[in-house]
């Protein structure tokens, strides 16, 4: 996931191993707080589609194809007051466009924070894709002339050009004025996939529907969310300890994780408000039984990893768990809102580990 720093050396792996040993005294059989098993929050497929139909997150995910393996970060900029609040009291998963907002303003007259929402998509072996969803204003139809004047070649709604250090650096920009959408990537195929309605959108994927339904039912409108699909939803020990850790070190760390750890199909971590210190994390599995047998082990795993990856001053507690249909969910509480994106970046939530 959108990483900043990785523990990579052997001596640091050993240090993490020592920290795991100290933290293991905190592990219980299951998390505290509430727990339940049922189907009421997600219901059947038709009910689920009805619940998520008005969700801004689900609508945004309908614009991109099913990615099978990768990460998607979402931010509702309207809920952040159309401002970049880069501080500990604000959680925001999406925001890759912020790095080029100065160029957007200069060359196109818009900023990413002017949008209603942003999606940032990363897939193994593919170039990143960023998508902005605007309201009726600003009018995106005027951007075509600005792009061609900058030297981009027009192919209907797709504009391609060589990266220019003095201007817009992306080689492909797609504009859909009717749907008020702008897509940006160095991968023209990825941009085209947004401009043409995907036959199998991510928001309608079978592993995503129960997660989005539960999130909409539990949180209502979602301010920001992190989505992991396929193998990306399964955090390996090497991502926790370091890719240079020896087999012996990995085996030693693995001993601190007890129980069943079935790889989840997908994961959603979502906050109802950008200043919230509580979040919902949900994992989808093939069936309810699999979700249930992962419950205690994954709750305990969060106690091992939380507060370790970023140090003792940062940590997330699981305050409740539930199994709803084939979804295993966790209520999480952090010391400050930004702890959530920090620990997602560092694969440190714990509930999604696959030891």
| Residue burial 98-129, b: 16+ Cβ < 10 Å; e: rest | bebbeebeebbebbbbbbbbbbbbbbeeebbb
**Angle, helices 295-305/10-23, rounded to nearest 10 degrees:** 120
- Overall pTM > 0.75: yes
Both 258 and 177 in a single domain? no
Q: What is the pLDDT of residue 311?
A: 52
State residue 282 phi and psi, 5-degree precision: -135, 140
Confidence of residue 343 (pLDDT cuts 50, 70, 90): confident
Residue 300 corresponds to which tokens in the numbers above? Answer: 């305990």
Task: Determine, yes or no, domain membership for 145.
Answer: yes
Confidence of residue 99 (pLDDT cuts 50, 70, 90): confident
Both 152 and 257 in a single domain? no
DSSP 23-68: HGGG--SS-SSEEEEESTTT-SHHHHHHHHTT-HHHHHHTTSB--S
* Residue 279 CB neighbours (<10 A): 25
Both 181 and 283 in a single domain? no
Q: Is the pLDDT assigned to residue 168 strictly greater than 80? A: no
Percent of the chain scored above 70 by pLDDT? 79
Task: Determine, yes or no, domain membership for 262.
Answer: yes
State residue 146 phi and psi, 5-degree precision: -65, -40
Least confident among 35-44, 88-97, 205-214: 35-44
Both 241 and 130 in a single domain? no
Task: Determine, yes or no, domain membership for 53.
Answer: no
Task: Determine, yes or no, domain membership for 80.
Answer: yes
In angstroms, rounded to a whole number, what is the distance separating the alpha carbons of residues 115 and 173? 16
Residue 200 corresponds to which tokens in the numbers above? Answer: 């199998």
* Residue 178 CB neighbours (<10 A): 9
CA angle 12, 13, 19 (to 5 degrees): 90
**pLDDT tens, position by position, 223-256:** 999 999 999 999 998 888 888 888 998 898 888 8
Alpha-carbon distance values, 284 to 78, 157, 183, 253 (Å): 29, 36, 28, 25
Task: Determine, yes or no, domain membership for 68.
Answer: no
Task: Residue 171: give the domain boundaries.
Answer: 73-200
Both 176 and 244 in a single domain? no
Both 238 and 325 in a single domain? yes
Both 194 and 80 in a single domain? yes
**pLDDT tens, position by position, 33-52:** 455 555 445 545 554 555 55
Both 252 and 334 in a single domain? yes
Q: Parallel, antiparallel, or unpaired: how do β-strands 327-334 and 316-324 relate? A: antiparallel
Cβ pair 219, 272 in contact under 8 A: yes
Q: What is the pLDDT of residue 141?
A: 85
Task: Determine, yes or no, domain membership for 3.
Answer: no
Identify which has the larger pLDDT, 112 or 38: 112
Both 77 and 39 in a single domain? no
Both 189 and 241 in a single domain? no
- Structural domains of the chain, count: 2
Q: What is the pLDDT of residue 23?
A: 46
């Amino acid at each position: 996931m959108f990483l900043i720093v990785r523990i990579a050396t052997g001596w640091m792996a050993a240090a993490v191993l020592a920290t795991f040993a100290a933290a293991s005294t905190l592990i219980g059989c299951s998390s505290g707080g509430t727990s339940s098993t049922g189907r009421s929050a997600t219901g059947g497929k038709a009910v689920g589609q009805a619940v998520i139909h008005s969700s801004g997150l689900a609508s945004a995910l309908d614009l991109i194809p099913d990615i099978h393996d990768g990460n998607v970060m979402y931010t509702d900029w309207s809920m952040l007051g159309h401002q970049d609040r880069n501080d500990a009291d604000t959680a925001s998963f999406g925001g890759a466009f912020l790095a080029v907002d100065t160029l957007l303003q200069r060359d196109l007259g818009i900023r990413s924070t002017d949008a209603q929402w942003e999606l940032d998509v990363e897939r193994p072996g593919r170039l990143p894709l960023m998508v902005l969803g605007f309201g009726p204003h600003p009018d995106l139809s005027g951007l075509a002339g600005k792009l061609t004047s900058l030297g981009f070649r027009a192919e209907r709604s797709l504009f391609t050009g060589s990266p220019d250090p003095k201007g817009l650096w992306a080689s492909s920009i797609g504009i859909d004025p009717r749907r008020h959408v702008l897509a940006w990537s160095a991968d023209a195929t990825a941009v085209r996939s947004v401009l043409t309605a995907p036959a199998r959108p991510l928001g309608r994927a079978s592993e995503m529907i129960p997660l989005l339904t539960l999130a909409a039912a539990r949180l209502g409108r979602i301010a920001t969310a992190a989505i992991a699909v396929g193998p990306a939803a399964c955090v390996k020990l090497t991502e926790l300890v370091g890719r240079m850790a020896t087999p012996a070190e990995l085996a030693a760390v693995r001993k601190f994780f007890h129980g069943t750890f079935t790889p989840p199909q997908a994961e959603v971590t979502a906050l109802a408000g950008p200043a919230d210190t509580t979040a919902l994390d949900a994992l989808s599995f093939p069936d309810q039984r699999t979700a249930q047998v992962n419950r205690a082990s994954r709750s305990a795993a969060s106690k091992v990893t939380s507060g370790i990856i970023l140090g003792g001053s940062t940590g997330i507690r699981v305050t409740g768990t539930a199994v709803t249909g084939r979804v295993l969910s966790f209520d999480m509480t952090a010391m400050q809102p930004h702890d959530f994106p920090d620990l997602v970046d560092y694969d440190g939530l714990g509930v999604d580990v696959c030891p």
